């Protein structure tokens, strides 16, 4: 049981640190509660967890070049999304933002380094004494519950900050800048690794 508690604490710390999904939740949370964005982010995390657990189970070797190409393409998508959010009207209501679920799902799935991270991260919490099939539902449930709590907290925080602060324009643009920076970093790291090994 202590392995699951350690897993929960580690997952909380990982998910609490801002990333692309958190940036989308904050961006969409400025004008209303971003349920669809949160659900898209949750589904993408569960899909990535299942993929990583499948890779661990099957011990499949992955081509580094293919993963780097995916990292670069994912980074370009995040950069494009950040620029698009930056250009969007700042007072656009959430209801007018179509595709929040799909956008969050695509952002979450577009980063293949997350699969590599999960493949490296998850074995520390998998017991060799029990079948993996018995552990997977609990690992997925723990991740989903913590992910939901953290993203809901970010959604509420974004809405409150947007209403209470005089720095509204900065707060409206911050998620766009974050997505652009994450995208540029992903592209840069991928190109650097691809070029210099």
Q: What is the pLDDT of residues 45-91, one digit of tens each?
A: 999 999 888 876 765 345 556 556 656 766 777 677 778 777 766 55
- pLDDT number for residue 70: 57
Percent of the chain with pLDDT over 90: 13
Higher pLDDT, 36 or 3: 36
Q: Which two tokens stand for residue 86?
A: 């930056």
A 10 A CB-CB count for 33 gives 16
Confidence check: pLDDT of 107 > 50? yes
Helix (H) or strand (E) holding 17: none
pLDDT above 80 (res 38):
yes
Q: CB–CB of 16/175 below 8 Å? A: no
Q: Residues with Cβ < 8 Å from 4, sequence gap 6 or more?
A: 125, 138, 142
55: nearest Cα among 102, 47, 184:
47
Query: Taking the domains of the chain in order of start, what are their residue ranges?
Result: 2-196
The DSSP letter of residue 48 is H
Beta carbons of 20 and 182 less than 8 angstroms apart: yes
Q: Which residue has the higher pLDDT, 112 or 114?
A: 114
Of the candidate ranges 29-43, 110-124, 140-154, 162-176, the one whose mean pLDDT is the lowest: 162-176
User: Exposed, middle or buried: residue 23 (CB in 10 Å: 0-12, 13-18, 19+)?
Assistant: buried
Residue 101 clears pLDDT 70, i.e. is over it: yes
Structural contact between residues 139 and 127, judged by C-beta atoms closer than 8 angstroms: no
Is residue 21 a contact partner of residue 86, using CB atoms and an 8 Å limit?
no
Q: What average pLDDT does this structure show over 7-33?
A: 81
As a whole number, the mean pLDDT across the chain is 76
92 or 120, greater pLDDT: 120
Q: What is the pLDDT of residue 94?
A: 42
This prediction has a pTM of 0.66
Q: Are 28 and 156 in contact (CB under 8 A)?
A: no
Q: What is the mean pLDDT of residues 144-154?
A: 93
Q: How far is CA 46 from CA 42, 61, 138, 160, 185, in A?
A: 6, 21, 12, 28, 24
Contact yes or no for 93/31 (Cβ under 8 A): yes
The sign of the dihedral angle between the CA atoms of 130, 15, 82, 95 is: positive
What is the band of 95 on the pLDDT scale with cuts at 50, 70, 90?
Answer: very low
């Amino acid at each position: 049981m202590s392995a699951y508690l350690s897993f929960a604490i580690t997952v909380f710390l990982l998910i609490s640190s801002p990333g692309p999904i958190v940036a989308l939740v904050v961006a969409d949370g400025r004008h209303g509660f971003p349920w669809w964005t949160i659900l898209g982010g949750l589904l993408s995390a569960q899909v990535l967890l299942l993929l990583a657990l499948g890779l661990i189970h099957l011990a499949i070797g992955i081509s580094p070049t293919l993963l780097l190409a995916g990292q670069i393409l994912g980074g370009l998508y995040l950069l494009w999304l950040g620029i698009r959010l930056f250009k969007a009207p700042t007072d656009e209501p959430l209801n007018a933002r179509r595709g929040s679920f799909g956008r969050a799902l695509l952002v979450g799935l577009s980063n293949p380094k997350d699969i590599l991270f999960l493949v490296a991260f998850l074995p520390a919490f998998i017991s060799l004494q029990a079948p993996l099939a018995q552990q997977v539902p609990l690992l997925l449930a723990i991740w989903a519950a913590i992910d939901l709590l953290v993203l809901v907290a970010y959604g509420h925080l974004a809405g409150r900050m947007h209403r209470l602060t005089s720095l509204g324009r900065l707060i409206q643009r911050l998620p766009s800048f974050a997505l652009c920076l994450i995208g540029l970093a992903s592209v840069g790291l991928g190109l650097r690794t691809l070029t210099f090994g």
